[in-house]
Structure formats: C-alpha cells, structure tokens
A and B are shown apart, each in its own frame.
Chain A
C-alpha cells in the first residue's frame, strides 16, 4: 500500500535520480549480446542438434534476463518507489493466475478425454 504521502517531501528538481549514461551504455550492450546469444542458441539447437527440448526454456530464460534489464535500468524500476515495484509485480502475478487455471482445466481435460 502507499507509503505515507507526507514523508517524501523533496523540492522540485532534486527528487530525481539521474542514472549515469555509462550504465545505459552497458545495459544496451548487454542486451545486444544477449540477443546474439539467443540467435546463437537457436542456430545450435536447430541447425546443429536438429531440435532440442532445451530450445524454448533457453530462449525464454534469455528473454527474461533481457526484460529484467530493461525494467530495472531503462524503466528505472531499480531506483523507483516500492509502491511502483509492487504494482508492476502484481500484473505478472495475476497473469500467472490466468494461465495457471486455464492450463489446469485444459491439461486435466485433455488428460482424461484426450481431446479438448
């Protein structure tokens, strides 16, 4: 819930955290490297190994790392208030609820009747 709205008195212009340009450069570089890594693994799994169960988990793991970099630095969530972090996490939590129950139904249904 909200932190008390009177505890954070700061005058205009001095309340903002300036993220150094150096960090932005490093993050962008990391994102480029991770994208290359994604494509590298794709080449490895598809063209060398001709398919692997690891293909999807690896691709999404890298995507998740990339997404958290964007969230933390570009979107500044690392330096943001606890409120805003909770708010954003809530979105992902309820998305998980949606897929969990929808998949639970369809999975148990297909397991019993072998059809939708």
Chain B
C-alpha cells in the first residue's frame, strides 16, 4: 500500500512522530496513523465545541417558558444541528477515529494500520462531509432533527437534501475506518499477540468496526432513497403515494441503533483500560468482557424496533423488539460486573482518568437501567418522546461516551504528546463536568416522567423550575469543557516532560517512548503474556 517515506534513523530517543517531519504539508499528507489520529482529534474537538454551543443555546431558550432568544423555527434548527453535529461529527467518529487510530496499532504492536493511505483518505472524506454539513448552515439550514424522519423531511423547504448528502459522505468515511481497523486487527498483530492477548480497548474498537461495516451501508442507501424522494417524489416513504414512512424508520434504525453501540462500545473499551490500569490488577473476566463486546455488537442488529413503539409499527413487531431489546442488558451487565470485580481489592488510585472512568460507571449504570424502562413497551408508551428519553440517551452518550473520551484523552495524553498536564486542574474538570452533567440531565428524567415532550420550543409554566436547574447545569458542563481545553493547551505549551509509562500500565503502547517514533517501536515487540499482568 503506502511506500515508506521516512528517512531518519532511530538512533536517539528524541526523534518521534511529531518532530520527525516539519511543516503543515507534512501533517496534511501524513500516512502515519498517529498523525491522522491527531488530525481527527483537532477536527472532532472543534465540531464538539460547535455542537456544544448549540446545546447551550437550546438550554438558554428553555431557561424560562415562552420565547426567549430564538423563534420556534430557529429553535428547531438549533436542535437539529446540535443532534446532527454531535452524532455524525463527534460521537460516532470520536473515540475510534481519535484514540482508535492512535492506539490500535500501538496496542497490538503494529507499525501502522493496514491501509495508511485509505486512513488518510477517510479523514479527508470525513472533512468533506463535515464541510457540506456546515455549508447547510448558510444555504437554507435544516430543521428535521438528526433522524430525518419522513414524511416531514420530504416536505421541509430547508436544505435537507444537502444535509443527507453530508451524512452519506461521513458514513463512507466511517466505513473506510472500520474496514481498515478490522484488517489491522486480523493481520497486523505482533508476534505472540494472539486474539486473546489484545487489550480490551481493541476488542471494543474491533466490535465497533464490525458494526461500521455492516450497518453504515444501509444508512447510505436510506439517505439516497430519501434524496430521491425529495427530488422525484417516488413515494417509497410517502404515505400519500402508497409508501410507508415507518419503513424509513426501519431502514434508518437498522443503522442508527447499531450506531448507538458504535458510539458506546469504544467508550466501554477505554473504561476497561482505565479500570485495569488504575486498579493495578489483572482485569476480572477478560474473555467475558471481550465476548460481551462482540455480543453487544451482534444483539444491536435485532433491537432497532424499540425506537418505533409508538410510530405505527405493528403490535407483533413491537412485542418481538421489546423482548429482544432486553437481551442487550445481558452483555452490558456482564461488563459492569467485571469492571466492579476488577475494582474489588484493587490497588486503586484516583488520578483524573480514573475519576472519569468511575464517573462513567455511575452514569452509564443510570443510562442503562433507564434504557430497560424504555425497552418495556408498557412504560415506553408513557415515556416515549418525552424528556425521559432525552435524559436517558444523554446519560449514555454524554455520561458514557464523552466521559470515556475525556478519561481516555487524559490517560493517553502523556503518550501522545510526551508531556504531562496539571493534575489538579484535570480533576477539577471532572468535578465540574460530572456535577454539571447530573444537574443538567437528572431533572430531565423527572420532567419526562411529568410528561414534558421533547423537541418543543416552549413548555407550560409547571415545568419551569426543573428546566431552569437544567440550564444552570449546562453552564457548569460548559465551564468544565472550557477548563479541560485550558488544561490541554497549557500542557501542550509548557507541560512537564512525561515518562514513557507514567501510570505503570502494562499494555504495549506504554513500552515505547513518549511520544512514540514514526514506526511506533524501536524494536519489533514480541508478546509473551496477556495485556493486564499486574502483580
């Protein structure tokens, strides 16, 4: 595939992937998975900032009942952009494309991913999609919600077709990344690195990649059909023309439910790494955690109908999907129990990455249990399309995935940049984000149970106090993330030099220098033991 372009020899430990080549061009044409990971990091964190600003706008508008700062149409647009940016541009690519790109080859002892040129291509494809998505902001906007539900998405006068194209393009990027990762895991493991010696983060990334390959193409064709529908009115999803809008939801959730696990599985992988490292203990139930990742990936394809309990889906299908959805609880609980058992009698220390991991356990447990409530048809009919659902998936997506992403970034930061950050401030970011998160979203469970519908620009005065609390929480989260930006930037500028293995972790990436050389290892590693052999 790629021709090797580097010339310097690794006689001194000072030469690394960052300083080996200079200039902007060397970054934008680099085939090095580590540099591509950083390209993803910069772009995804930027989009996270944009999506976060939209979130703050939503909460600001909902601070009090009645119109505050936005018109109802603007509110719908802000809500759509918040959802679409966060899903397609932040959480789906987030952990796999940043941390996965950077650490997948390092953790399995490979020099790069299987197809480095394809890897760079997928970043460009991702950016192309992202730019198209951003362009819709100036060319008509979009107000369908990130789910593009028909028949409204057929009728709306906004730039829905363009946004659909953007999502299609970003989906292609996601497919290419997944393809690359699967082949890398299959073919590029170092000598002695058997499938049951790869770190659990790799199992999670691997399961995610399988989902990206199997689910994303169906999203592609769904969006293509939607574009056809808008352009020619073929009627497949249009009830006026004999079509079935529920079929759109089937197609959409065939992708988007597995996509939910594309978002959470990598987070679970990160947490497995963090808990083992900071408990300084062999992970409890390695095989069980590895197979539960594959299990969650497999089950995810059989449960999508739980998004459609009140969409006019047949009762039979509803009951079948409700039953199947309960199965998700099994592999998820297996993971929870194994993490807790790893903590038990571990030599635990509470550095900032570990705080985020523990935060994950707490918030994800709430997100998971409320998921079971929503999977039960009888309760879902009451909770559906209320703020209960909003709170549920934010506990999973933000409380789960973003917590893990933050934890992972702090954990691997010394390896990525060879510098340490201010630990006290990093812990403070955790406190702000964790408290802010609960203040923002716990009231939404109550609001949902009280019947406040989601996606509306206005609400009755009875909901006011809880909504105000929620909005105040959103400011705390915002402060938390701004502070972590400060922590990262100051660490990059003037952080102390990090040692090769500041946490005393056992996985392979810590055996090389910080930051690693272009080819990852000075000597090709030979693996003789599992990833978590703590004594």
Direct contact of A and B (CB under 8 A): yes
Binding site for B on A (CB under 8 A): 1-2, 4-6, 83, 90-91, 94, 97-98, 101-102, 104-109, 112, 116
Across the interface, do B315 and A5 meet the contact criterion of CB distance under 8 Å?
no
Query: Within 8 Å of chain A (Cβ to Cβ): is B314?
Result: yes
B178 vs chain A, min Cβ distance (A)? 12
CA distance A102 to B320 in the complex (A): 12
Across the interface, do A104 and B191 meet the contact criterion of CB distance under 8 Å?
no
Chain B interface helix/strand/loop/mixed: helix
Across the interface, do B244 and A101 meet the contact criterion of CB distance under 8 Å?
no
Across the interface, do A2 and B218 meet the contact criterion of CB distance under 8 Å?
no
Across the interface, do A83 and B186 meet the contact criterion of CB distance under 8 Å?
yes
CA distance A90 to B214 in the complex (A): 8
Known: A91-B214, A101-B250, A101-B317. A5 touches B189 (CB 8 A): yes
Known: A101-B304, A108-B314. A4 touches B244 (CB 8 A): no
Known: A97-B302, A102-B247, A105-B246. A112 touches B189 (CB 8 A): no
Chain A residues with CB below 8 A from B251, complex form: 98, 102
Contact of B316 among A1, A83, A97, A108 (CB under 8 A): A108
Chain B interface residue bracket vs A: 20 to 34
Query: Within 8 Å of chain A (Cβ to Cβ): is B313?
Result: yes
Across the interface, do B301 and A97 meet the contact criterion of CB distance under 8 Å?
yes
Across the interface, do A94 and B214 meet the contact criterion of CB distance under 8 Å?
yes
Across the interface, do B250 and A2 meet the contact criterion of CB distance under 8 Å?
no
CA distance A102 to B304 in the complex (A): 10
Query: Within 8 Å of chain A (Cβ to Cβ): is B269?
Result: no
Chain A interface helix/strand/loop/mixed: helix
Contact of B315 among A94, A98, A101, A108 (CB under 8 A): A108
Interface residues of B in 185-241 (CB under 8 A from A): 185-189, 191, 194-195, 214, 218, 239
CA distance A109 to B194 in the complex (A): 48
Residue on A with the closest CB to B218? Answer: A98
Chain B residues with CB below 8 A from A6, complex form: 191
10 closest A-B pairs by beta carbon, nearest first, are A105-B317, A2-B186, A109-B314, A108-B314, A108-B316, A102-B250, A116-B244, A94-B214, A105-B314, A105-B313
B187 vs chain A, min Cβ distance (A)? 5
Query: Within 8 Å of chain A (Cβ to Cβ): is B478?
Result: no
Residue on A with the closest CB to B316? Answer: A108
Known: A105-B246, A105-B314. A98 touches B254 (CB 8 A): yes
Chain A residues with CB below 8 A from B187, complex form: 2, 5
Known: A94-B214, A106-B247, A109-B314. A101 touches B305 (CB 8 A): yes
Chain B residues with CB below 8 A from A106, complex form: 244, 246-247, 314
Across the interface, do A105 and B186 meet the contact criterion of CB distance under 8 Å?
no
Contact of B301 among A94, A107, A108 (CB under 8 A): A94
B113 vs chain A, min Cβ distance (A)? 14
B294 vs chain A, min Cβ distance (A)? 9
Across the interface, do B317 and A4 meet the contact criterion of CB distance under 8 Å?
no
Interface residues of B in 290-338 (CB under 8 A from A): 301-302, 304-305, 312-317, 320-321
In the complex, besides A98-B218, A104-B317, A106-B314, 6 extra interface pairs with C-beta distance below 8 angstroms are A2-B195, A90-B214, A94-B214, A94-B301, A98-B250, A104-B316
CA distance A4 to B188 in the complex (A): 10
Chain B residues with CB below 8 A from A94, complex form: 214, 301
Known: A2-B195, A94-B214. A116 touches B239 (CB 8 A): yes
Residue on B with the closest CB to A94? Answer: B214
Residue on B with the closest CB to A4? Answer: B194
CA distance A88 to B518 in the complex (A): 34
Chain A residues with CB below 8 A from B316, complex form: 104-105, 108
Chain A residues with CB below 8 A from B214, complex form: 90-91, 94
CA distance A38 to B428 in the complex (A): 71
Residue on A with the closest CB to B245? Answer: A116
Across the interface, do A108 and B317 meet the contact criterion of CB distance under 8 Å?
yes
CA distance A116 to B242 in the complex (A): 8
A sample of 28 inter-chain contacts (CB < 8 A) reads A2-B186, A2-B187, A2-B195, A4-B194, A5-B187, A5-B188, A90-B214, A98-B250, A98-B251, A101-B317, A101-B321, A102-B247, A102-B250, A102-B251, A102-B254, A104-B314, A104-B317, A105-B246, A106-B244, A106-B246, A106-B247, A107-B314, A108-B315, A108-B316, A109-B317, A112-B314, A112-B315, A116-B239
